[in-house]
């Protein structure tokens, strides 16, 4: 087991995500990001399969056909698109639900930070976009969530961090304003 190395890696990742979340205007989400990775259910299997260059969940999945750590993690962390699956009341089938902007923003921060941690000195601003575009998992995203994330990652790849983080922060601010307005309108109607 590589418990210490895994601990250092997930802590470095958390701190990087935290810094990114602060830049995007979602500081609380940065502070609580990925805390479940320190739980025994996630920590011990991940430490066992730690390699340092990619997610231990991938190796656990290759070994057993599934990752117990990942199944636990995705069900507790709203910044993963897999969390946002539900049964359609009409069709009775599972489908992707549009992620709230604040969690899509945290997902952006998470993917950029993961690219930085795993790619190390070879990191480029295009890495997170390339990972998204080359992954088969795109088909499981809600179309609007995928469009939002891909747009931010393209901005990062083409114009750099300053432009991308500014765009994410603006979207978070606009979404927060819209949610407040909706909440106020609902309370006015109730009165």
CA pair distance 100, 109, nearest whole angstrom: 15
Query: Would you say residue 50 has pLDDT above 80?
Result: yes
Of 101, 6, 109, the C-alpha closest to 53 is 6
Query: pLDDT per residue over 109-141, tens digit each?
Result: 999 999 999 999 999 999 999 999 998 888 899
Specify if 93 maps to a domain: yes
DSSP single-letter state for residue 99: P
169 lies in a domain?
yes
Quick check: helix, strand or coil at residue 124?
coil
Q: Quote the pLDDT of residue 191.
A: 61
Number of structural domains in the chain? 1
Q: Is residue 114 part of a domain?
A: yes
What pLDDT sits at residue 1? Answer: 62
Asked whether residue 191 is assigned to any structural domain, the reply reads: no
User: In this structure, is residue 62 part of a structural domain?
Assistant: yes
Alpha-carbon span 175 to 161, nearest angstrom = 21
Predicted model pTM:
0.92
Tell me, yes or no, whether 187 lies in a domain: no
| Residue range 51-79: mean pLDDT, rounded | 94
Q: Does a structural domain hold residue 190?
A: no
Q: What DSSP character marks residue 66?
A: S
For 98, the domain range is 3-182
What tokens appear for 95 in the block? 């489908």
pLDDT tens figures, 70-90: 999 999 999 999 999 999 889
């Amino acid at each position: 087991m590589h418990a210490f190395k895994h601990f250092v890696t997930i802590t470095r990742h958390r701190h990087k995500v935290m810094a990114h979340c602060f830049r995007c205007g979602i500081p609380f989400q940065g502070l609580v990001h990925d805390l479940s990775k320190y739980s025994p259910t996630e920590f011990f299997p991940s430490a066992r399969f730690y390699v340092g260059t990619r997610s231990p969940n991938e190796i656990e999945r290759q070994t057993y056909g599934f990752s117990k750590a990942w199944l636990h993690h995705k069900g507790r962390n709203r910044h993963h698109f897999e969390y946002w699956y539900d049964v359609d009341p009409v069709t009775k089938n599972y489908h992707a639900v549009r992620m709230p902007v604040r969690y899509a923003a945290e997902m952006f921060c998470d993917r950029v930070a993961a690219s930085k941690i795993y790619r190390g000195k070879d990191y480029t601003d295009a890495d997170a976009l390339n990972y998204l575009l080359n992954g088969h998992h795109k088909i499981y995203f809600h179309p609007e969530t995928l469009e939002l994330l891909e747009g931010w990652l393209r901005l990062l790849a083409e114009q750099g961090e300053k432009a991308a983080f500014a765009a994410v922060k603006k979207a978070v601010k606009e979404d927060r304003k819209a949610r407040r307005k909706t909440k106020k309108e609902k309370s006015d109607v109730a009165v």
